[in-house]
Amino acid sequence: MDAMRQARIDLAAALRLAVRFGFHEGICNHFSAMVPGFDGGFLINPQGFHWSEITASSLVLVDFQGEVLEGEHSVEATAFYIHGALHRHLPRARVVLHTHMPHATALTTLEDPTLEPISQTALGFYGRIAYDGDYNGLALDTEEGERIAAAMGDKPVALLANHGVVVTAPDMATAFNDLYYLERACELQVKALSTGRPLRRVSAQVAERTARQFVAPDNAGQMTAHFTALKRLLDREAPDYRW
């Protein structure tokens, strides 16, 4: 299977899976992916489609000037301005997932949105999250995307104040694995905070060691296995995503 076809299938799968886990919001938010061997643009979900109806062939290939290279549909302006800047400025960001998923976004509405080291799941993100504290409205110009890219720096994940989250990665399996577990970690924190009782934080020493274990090279296979297993679910229940 050629790289373009595989990239389309994986991106369509990620969008369908996001619906399964409640990460989507209406027809808003965007997932994008660059194609191995092609640096002239990126695939992204088209404007006006619910993620449950996305297929590999309905995705749009757009260049960095916003021109559609392949596809019959348009791309929403905020999608281009956010994703174009992140793909252009962050070399690791071959995949960019942006959502308003509920528990992670709930943290962005707090005065202190820090994902605390209170669960094993959260420790997978220890030292890997950028916190962008400036909300400036809808991303309707190049400056907003550029600002988000600068705020992320060398961090693969960002919590955007009063807005949502961005997850970047060199491949779809890594990106979706992070997106899934980020929401789970945030859900645990929101539930813990709802008790009104003090949080029990893991020490910095243990948190740092555990974080290194999560990103160790021998753990990369776990991420691939997770995404592959999720695609098997789609293959059984909604195989049309591959069309």
pLDDT in tens, the chain (243 residues): 699 999 999 999 999 999 999 999 999 999 999 999 999 999 999 999 999 999 999 999 999 988 999 988 999 988 889 999 999 999 999 999 999 999 999 999 999 999 999 999 999 999 999 999 988 888 778 888 999 999 999 999 999 999 999 999 999 999 999 999 999 999 999 999 999 999 999 999 999 999 999 988 888 799 999 999 999 999 999 999 999
Residue 152: how many other CB atoms lie within 10 Å: 23
DSSP state of 242: G
Give the count of alpha carbons within 13 A of 191, CB side only: 8
Q: Which pLDDT does position 71 carry in this prediction? A: 87
Inter-CA distances, 145 with 88, 121, 151, 168, Å: 10, 29, 10, 14
- How, if at all, do strands 30-35 and 38-44 pair? antiparallel
Sign of the CA dihedral with 111 first, then 117, 123, and 127 last: positive
Instruction: Show the tokens assigned to 222.
Output: 């776990």
Separation between Cα atoms, residue 33 and residue 17, nearest integer Å: 16
Question: DSSP character for 163?
Answer: T
Collect all residues with Cβ–Cβ distance below 8 Å to 112 and sequence separation of at least 6.
none
Q: SS3 for 115? A: coil
Helix, strand, or coil (residue 167) = strand
pLDDT at position 1: 66
Residues 6+ positions from 138 with CB-CB distance below 8 Å: 78, 144
